[in-house]
Homo-oligomer: A and B are copies of this chain.
Amino acid sequence: MVDDKKDNPVQNVQPGPEPPEPRDAATSQQQSEGVVIEVDDVTWEKTVEKSDKSVAVMFYSPSCVFCHQMEPYFRNYALEYKEKVVFARLNIMTNLWTAERYGVRSTPTFKFFCAGKPVREMVGGVYPALLKKIVDEVLMYGNECARNSTSINYDITGYG
């Protein structure tokens, strides 16, 4: 917890092999402001679990440096896929219930949902191209994943 400045999005940090030009990053940040939906414990069910489209969620915390590093890429992909995939983010500091329910142990955690089911996950600030690859794979195989698995009902067991 070195960097705890909530209002310092560290936009100039450009990791990985595909750094966007600072100007483009700023522009796409503006454009994608309305594309990436901010979800919380209350709106989660409607936005993610009951969505008709596939959903990509970034679990972040304001103080997490790696989240700030990944955010411009996440926003770029949100713009690129806005017709096919809902992009959302959830602040785990104020919405721990959802983060814990989905087993999120570190930030950033990217989770991908199909038919309301989590089907893929990637953790950490890594090559942004991996993120895009997963989005493509979820669009290609995701619904099949969601069909070809058996849901666990924790209510019956008394867990969850």
Contact = CB atoms under 8 A, between A and B. Distances in A.
Interface of A: 1, 61, 63-67, 69, 92, 96-97, 99-109, 111, 117-127, 130, 137, 141, 144-152, 154, 157, 159-160
A116 B26 CA distance: 36
Contacts of A69: 148
B123 A149 contact: yes
Contacts of A104: 103, 152
Nearest to A109: B149
21 contacts: A61-B150, A64-B150, A66-B150, A69-B148, A92-B152, A99-B152, A104-B152, A105-B117, A105-B118, A105-B151, A107-B149, A117-B123, A118-B121, A119-B123, A120-B121, A120-B122, A121-B121, A123-B149, A124-B146, A124-B149, A126-B144
